Chains A and B, each alone.
Chain A
Amino acid sequence: MTFRLLTLTTLTAAGIATGIATGIAGSAFAADTVKLGYQLPLTGDTAQYGQDFRKAAEIALTEFNAAGKPFKVEIVFEDSRSDAKEGTNIARKFVDDKEIVGVLGDFTSGVSMAAAQVYKDAGMPQLSQTASHPDYTKVSKYQFRNIATQAQEGPYNAKWMATKGFKNVAVIAEQTDWGQSVVSGFSDAVKANGGTVAFSEFFNRGLKDYRSLISKIERAKPDAIYTGFFYEDGAQFLKQLQQLGIKTPVYSTSAAYSPKLIELAGGAAEGVHLTSNFLPTDPSPNVQHFVDEWKKRSEGAVPGQFPAQAYDAVRIMLAAVEKASPNPTREKVRDALAQTKDFPGVTGKTSFSADREAEKELVKVEVKGGAFIPVAD
């Protein structure tokens, strides 16, 4: 009896002691550093995007840590190679690290959605700067995005093309989760507006030769072509369109909005119409500040839309962490993210709807004289 009592007391005492110790250590740590995870492709075929995101995140992070806040933030970058398997492994790693209170990324919708399953179970807030597949935010209440979805962009572009008088359109997109949302978001809106989709097809990302596909599109004689591609594929497509002497107007999504598109396609990019929510030429001070910081770190290159979205996503996450502090937890960060309203970013004001979708304003842009020029219609 005495022995049992003794054991019990010792255990309780030890338990309390440990509890206090960890409690102190925990709060002491939280006062110093808060950790965030960022999963993104740093190697492999889509590494160029991940590298840009990291650069943007570092700009945002340096600014935050230099602003004399009561705590510092550290971001752990993990390379997902745009591979869903790799993405889930990283998600498990982030979830297991008790100090991580929020996660940014991934780049593609497919990988983001795969990782989202892990974050959903663990209750980890996830904010992707680019995942625009409609199903991504439907995974759970922990998924947020800082990009217009194709469900928003498709109808917008369909209406734009309809006002230009293009009734019979062709649509092509890369064969990915995102590409499928481009085709469905756009096609449904075209039909709703009374137009027809003359041709609809997917191609593999990284296809070099689009000439077969282009000949096939032209056979359907569309008034205009709507395209869901990124700048690499876009540049090849536009160049080969020009080679084959085809003058059909091309419209595209904000995913193709990158200075690299014009650099790679040259004259062939002239006259391409697309939407965007970031204009590096915008004179507002925060945009110019970001563009300057970016140029300093990129040998004078101008940022495209994706790095701008990543920069804003990181800053939205940091603001949420600040709101959730002191002692931010995953749940508190999630709630703070959900309350984000009119966040003044470089990609316009961002609010999260009840579905955790970023409500973005889109700008119409045309390539003229080797530059993206905003147009009224």
Chain B
Amino acid sequence: MFDPYYLQQLAIGLSLGMTYALMAIGFTLIFGVLNVVNFAHGEVYTLGAFAGLVLISATAPPIVAVILGALAIGALAGFSLERLAFKPFRRFTDEASLKSRAMRESTLLSSLAVSIVVREALEIVFGSQMRSVPFEYLINTPVRVGPVILVTGDFIIFGVAAAMLIGLQFLLTRTRVGLAIRAVSNNPLGAKYVGIDTDRTIITTFVVGSMMGAAAGILMGLYYGAVFPAMGFTPGIKAFVAMVMGGLSSIPGAVICALILGISESMATTFVSSGWSDMVAYGFLILTLIFFPNGLFGARRERV
């Protein structure tokens, strides 16, 4: 009964889920917690991976420096993204505009535009070929744990994702910055009236969230050994599904749902053709939207 095959599939699913979670954390911070519609997170992820790759090919630094470099680019990307695609929509500070849903959701298109421009620009500069990461940097040396085989990267990603999750939970629930983020998310106008610098809070959130996105990008690049301009798309979709399932505003919820997603996909491969395993993610998204419009772990919110 206890077939090692299923244990191996479970391990693969967990490791897959961790990679989704890594992406979902930063995404949920900006999209869910701050409640800003942002579809450019996948490109921040790609930029992080490219920044790391460029650094590796230029100077061959230690891996920690590579990640720090990617973090710096991520911070810059987050700041620029906010400046380009989000700030212009906040230039009207009257009450009607601040409460307007149209104003808020128009960033759906502006962020999408930025993401397309970034992706095409990367294609022009680097070409659309997959680029290989030098083998000594890869984090996929096999590790045998009992009957299952994992790779070193699985443990690194687990550590990083756990650190991000705990750090963010601390930030959001125990610090004034976190309080400000939640206040702005809940009621931007009210936050402004009580003296919170909403602009600065939003920029901070973008910078932190994008640093996490970029870190996810470079880690995935090192994990799979391939970096290319379109790499952010699929993880972006999976992160989006995990976030919606988790109830938009809950980062732990998104992480748990990312793990559920990963395990379900790898388990589903056993029973249906691998070509259909993406159906699992979309199926979950639809089921969640129908039966749990507030997500599995979400607080009550007017919109999902």
Binary per-residue interface labels of chain B (116-127) against chain A in the complex, 1 for a CB within 8 Å, 0 otherwise:
000010010001
- Contact residue range for chain B? 35 or more
Q: Is A371 an interface residue (CB 8 A)?
A: no
Of B60-68, B87-95, B224-232, which binds chain A?
B224-232
Q: Is B252 an interface residue (CB 8 A)?
A: no
- Contact residue range for chain A? 20 to 34
Q: Is A175 an interface residue (CB 8 A)?
A: yes
Min CB distance A31 to B, Å, is 37
The interface residues of chain B lying within 8 Å CB-to-CB of A236 are: 224, 226
Q: Is B299 an interface residue (CB 8 A)?
A: no
CA distance A176 to B234 in the complex (A): 18
Q: Is A260 an interface residue (CB 8 A)?
A: yes
The interface residues of chain B lying within 8 Å CB-to-CB of A43 are: 120, 123, 128
Min CB distance A210 to B, Å, is 8
Q: Is B112 an interface residue (CB 8 A)?
A: no
Min CB distance A227 to B, Å, is 13
Question: Which single residue of chain A is at the shortest CB-CB distance from B5?
Answer: A219
- The answer to whether A202 and B275 have CB atoms under 8 Å apart is yes
Of A45-53, A62-70, A139-147, A308-316, which binds chain B?
A45-53
Binary per-residue interface labels of chain B (253-268) against chain A in the complex, 1 for a CB within 8 Å, 0 otherwise:
0000000000001100
Min CB distance A47 to B, Å, is 4
Which residues of B in the span 184-208 have a Cβ within 8 Å of any Cβ on A?
none
Min CB distance A46 to B, Å, is 8
CA distance A239 to B16 in the complex (A): 16
- The answer to whether A48 and B225 have CB atoms under 8 Å apart is no
Q: Is A343 an interface residue (CB 8 A)?
A: no
One of B142, B151, B265 near A212 (C-beta < 8 A): B265
CA distance A219 to B4 in the complex (A): 11
Q: A201-B273, A243-B142 are in contact. Are A212 and B13 (CB under 8 A)?
A: yes
The interface residues of chain B lying within 8 Å CB-to-CB of A245 are: 142, 149
- The answer to whether A264 and B226 have CB atoms under 8 Å apart is yes
Q: A215-B8, A232-B226 are in contact. Are A204 and B13 (CB under 8 A)?
A: no
- The answer to whether B224 and A215 have CB atoms under 8 Å apart is no
Q: Is A85 an interface residue (CB 8 A)?
A: no
Q: Is B175 an interface residue (CB 8 A)?
A: no
Which residues of A in the span 259-306 have a Cβ within 8 Å of any Cβ on B?
260, 263-264, 266-267
Q: Is A72 an interface residue (CB 8 A)?
A: no
CA distance A216 to B230 in the complex (A): 28
Min CB distance B218 to A, Å, is 15
One of B19, B129, B265, B275 near A260 (C-beta < 8 A): B129
- The answer to whether A260 and B269 have CB atoms under 8 Å apart is no
Q: Is B277 an interface residue (CB 8 A)?
A: yes
- The answer to whether A215 and B12 have CB atoms under 8 Å apart is yes
Min CB distance B152 to A, Å, is 10
Chain B at the A interface: mostly helix, strand, loop or mixed?
Answer: helix
Q: A202-B274, A213-B269, A264-B225 are in contact. Are A45 and B230 (CB under 8 A)?
A: yes
- The answer to whether B12 and A212 have CB atoms under 8 Å apart is yes
Q: A206-B234, A264-B130 are in contact. Are A211 and B273 (CB under 8 A)?
A: no
CA distance A245 to B5 in the complex (A): 14
Binary per-residue interface labels of chain B (1-40) against chain A in the complex, 1 for a CB within 8 Å, 0 otherwise:
0000100110011011001000000000000000000000
Question: Which single residue of chain B is at the shortest CB-CB distance from A50?
Answer: B128
The interface residues of chain B lying within 8 Å CB-to-CB of A260 are: 129-130
The interface residues of chain A lying within 8 Å CB-to-CB of B266 are: 209, 211-212
Min CB distance A300 to B, Å, is 14
Q: Is A122 an interface residue (CB 8 A)?
A: no
Q: Is B173 an interface residue (CB 8 A)?
A: no
Min CB distance B20 to A, Å, is 10
Q: Is B106 an interface residue (CB 8 A)?
A: no
Q: Is B291 an interface residue (CB 8 A)?
A: no
The interface residues of chain B lying within 8 Å CB-to-CB of A48 are: 127-130
- The answer to whether B16 and A204 have CB atoms under 8 Å apart is no
Q: Is A192 an interface residue (CB 8 A)?
A: no
Min CB distance A178 to B, Å, is 14
The interface residues of chain A lying within 8 Å CB-to-CB of B16 are: 209, 212
Q: Is A203 an interface residue (CB 8 A)?
A: yes
- The answer to whether A211 and B12 have CB atoms under 8 Å apart is yes
Q: Is A368 an interface residue (CB 8 A)?
A: no
CA distance A211 to B120 in the complex (A): 31
The interface residues of chain B lying within 8 Å CB-to-CB of A206 are: 234
Q: A208-B234, A209-B16, A245-B142 are in contact. Are A203 and B275 (CB under 8 A)?
A: yes
Among A48, A175, A232: residue with most chain B CB under 10 A:
A48
Q: Is A235 an interface residue (CB 8 A)?
A: yes
- The answer to whether B140 and A239 have CB atoms under 8 Å apart is yes
- The answer to whether B269 and A208 have CB atoms under 8 Å apart is no
Q: A203-B274, A206-B234, A264-B132 are in contact. Are A216 and B151 (CB under 8 A)?
A: no
- The answer to whether A243 and B5 have CB atoms under 8 Å apart is no
- The answer to whether B225 and A212 have CB atoms under 8 Å apart is no
One of A204, A243, A244, A264 near B275 (C-beta < 8 A): A204
- The answer to whether A204 and B127 have CB atoms under 8 Å apart is no
Among A201, A209, A236: residue with most chain B CB under 10 A:
A209
- The answer to whether A243 and B151 have CB atoms under 8 Å apart is yes
The interface residues of chain A lying within 8 Å CB-to-CB of B15 are: 211
- The answer to whether B130 and A232 have CB atoms under 8 Å apart is yes
CA distance A245 to B142 in the complex (A): 8
24 of the cross-chain contacts (CB-CB < 8 Å) are A43-B128, A48-B128, A48-B130, A203-B275, A204-B275, A206-B234, A208-B234, A209-B12, A212-B265, A212-B270, A212-B274, A213-B274, A215-B5, A215-B9, A216-B274, A219-B5, A232-B228, A239-B224, A243-B140, A243-B149, A244-B142, A263-B132, A264-B226, A266-B132
Among all A-B residue pairs, the 3 with the closest Cβ atoms: A47-B128, A212-B269, A175-B275
Taking A204-B278, A239-B225 as given, write out 17 further A-B residue pairs in contact, using a Cβ cutoff of 8 Å, ordered by the A residue number.
A43-B128, A44-B230, A51-B128, A175-B275, A201-B274, A202-B273, A202-B275, A203-B273, A208-B224, A209-B266, A212-B13, A216-B270, A219-B5, A232-B226, A235-B226, A243-B149, A264-B225
